[in-house]
């Protein structure tokens, strides 16, 4: 009888090492938002990949980072939970940056629970990666290492084979048609937040949350209403823009992404609201899906 394997695969590492890009690349779907700014991901995102003889349940996570705000603590708690519960861990290292103290911390946590772990060198298509030593000298001795490029696909098949072989024997944990456990309205909210990160400068995007108020499917169209939550009135003025110009730009970019994802026309309404306590309130952080 053929052995079937299934289990949860944690994607962990510091911010901006390519966790979400890897998830999207292996799924062939744009499930997780990706921007050039670090700490874009704010929660655990499950992506399910069926393979011959295996079902790989990838868990994208926020970048492990230093921070004392309630939101920072909540994001790091997500990472700790995924590390604790995963069947296999992929510790991602940006080859253009190298090993960091965050990698030491994560490697220590993984070694303490004896879960199979693989070091994944990302962004291997970039010229700077070719000048860096490989395998990474600081990585734990005996851990398998795979160099990959999410952009070109180089190394992905070999990595997936290694992951599947490290999973426990188990029947499939989800049906074959399921891509994620996240509802569509939440994924649409993430696409709105991606537009916020792309269009607003510096630190402001980190103070903004997206709350989807309504998601209605009628005929061939979807009607979506969402609030952009900011901490202060001064931030609201920037997000709204002169004559509503900035929130309009955010809405256009987000609507285009959501329409491409849903493959149908979308009517999107955005409102900017001041919610000064959201980054400090565990209740609000949970309600917004960031824990």
Q: Give the pTM.
A: 0.91
The residue among 283 and 70 whose pLDDT is bigger is 283
Taking only the tens place, the pLDDT of each residue in 9-26 is: 999 999 999 999 999 999
Average pLDDT of the segment spanning 195-204: 89
Consecutive H or E run containing 223: strand 221-230
CA distances from 279 to 26, 164, 209, 290 (A): 32, 38, 9, 10
Q: Is the model's pLDDT at 237 over the cut of 90?
A: yes
Look at residue 221 and give its three-state secondary structure.
Answer: strand
Residue 135, preceding bond cis, omega within 30 degrees? Answer: yes
Give the sign of the dihedral formed by CA 130, CA 24, CA 285, CA 10. negative
Give the pLDDT of residue 137. 93
Percent of the chain with pLDDT over 90: 75
Q: Is the model's pLDDT at 220 over the cut of 90?
A: no
Average pLDDT of the segment spanning 28-50: 88
Asked if residues 247 and 227 have their Cβ atoms less than 8 Å apart, the reply is no
b/e per residue, 144-163, with b = 16+ CB within 10 A? eebbbbbeeeebbeebbebb
Give the pLDDT of residue 2. 74
Average pLDDT of the segment spanning 42-65: 92
Tokens of 221: 């169209």
**Which structural domains are found in the chain, ordered by start?**
5-166 (3.40.50.300), 184-287 (3.30.300.20)
Taking only the tens place, the pLDDT of each residue in 157-168 is: 999 999 999 999
Residue 110, burial from CB neighbour count under 10 angstroms (0-12, 13-18, 19+): buried
Cα separation, 61 vs 104, in Å, equals: 17
Taking only the tens place, the pLDDT of each residue in 81-103 is: 999 999 999 999 999 999 999 99
Average pLDDT of the segment spanning 252-279: 95
Confidence label for 68 from pLDDT (cuts 50, 70 and 90):
low
Written as one string, the DSSP assignment of 74-143 is HHHHHHHHHHHH-SEEEEEEETTT---HHHHHHHHHHHHHT--EEEEEE-TTSHHHHTS-SS-TTSPTT-
Cα radius of gyration rounded to whole Å, the chain: 20
Give the sign of the dihedral formed by CA 60, CA 61, CA 64, CA 67. positive
Taking only the tens place, the pLDDT of each residue in 137-193 is: 999 999 999 999 999 999 999 999 999 999 999 999 999 899 999 999 999 999 999
Q: Which of 33, 18, 34, 49 is nearest to 120 (CA)?
A: 18
Taking only the tens place, the pLDDT of each residue in 112-131 is: 987 899 999 999 999 999 88
Instruction: Provide the mean pLDDT of the chain.
Output: 92
Confidence label for 36 from pLDDT (cuts 50, 70 and 90):
confident
Asked if residues 3 and 171 have their Cβ atoms less than 8 Å apart, the reply is no
Cα separation, 252 vs 258, in Å, equals: 10
Confidence label for 249 from pLDDT (cuts 50, 70 and 90):
very high
269 Cα distance to chain centroid: 25
Give the pLDDT of residue 1. 59
Give the pLDDT of residue 38. 77
């Amino acid at each position: 009888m053929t052995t079937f394997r299934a289990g949860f695969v944690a994607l962990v590492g510091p911010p901006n090492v390519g966790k979400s890009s890897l998830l999207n690349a292996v799924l062939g779907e744009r499930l997780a938002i990706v921007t050039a700014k670090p700490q874009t991901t704010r929660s655990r995102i499950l992506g399910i990949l069926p393979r011959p003889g295996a079902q790989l349940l990838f868990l994208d996570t926020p970048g492990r980072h230093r921070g004392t705000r309630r939101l920072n603590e909540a994001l790091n708690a997500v990472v700790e939970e995924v590390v604790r519960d995963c069947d296999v861990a992929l510790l991602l290292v940006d080859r253009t940056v190298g090993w960091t103290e965050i990698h030491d911390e994560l490697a220590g946590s993984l070694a303490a629970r004896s879960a199979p772990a693989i070091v994944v060198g990302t962004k291997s298509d970039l010229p700077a990666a070719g000048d860096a030593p490989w395998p990474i000298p600081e990585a734990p001795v005996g851990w398998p290492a795979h160099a990959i490029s999410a952009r070109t696909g180089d190394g992905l098949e070999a990595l997936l084979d290694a992951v599947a072989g490290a999973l426990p024997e188990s029947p499939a944990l989800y049906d074959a048609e399921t891509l994620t456990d996240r509802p569509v309205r939440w994924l649409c909210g993430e696409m709105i937040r991606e537009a916020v990160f792309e269009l607003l400068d510096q630190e402001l995007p980190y103070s903004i949350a997206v709350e989807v108020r309504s998601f209605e499917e009628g005929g061939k169209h979807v009607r979506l209403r969402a609030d952009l939550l900011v901490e202060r009135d001064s931030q609201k003025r920037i997000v709204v823009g002169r004559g509503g110009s900035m929130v309009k730009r955010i809405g256009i970019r987000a609507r285009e992404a959501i329409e491409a994802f849903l493959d149908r026309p979308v009517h999107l309404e955005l409102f900017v609201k001041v919610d000064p306590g959201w980054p400090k309130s565990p209740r609000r952080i949970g309600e917004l899906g960031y824990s």
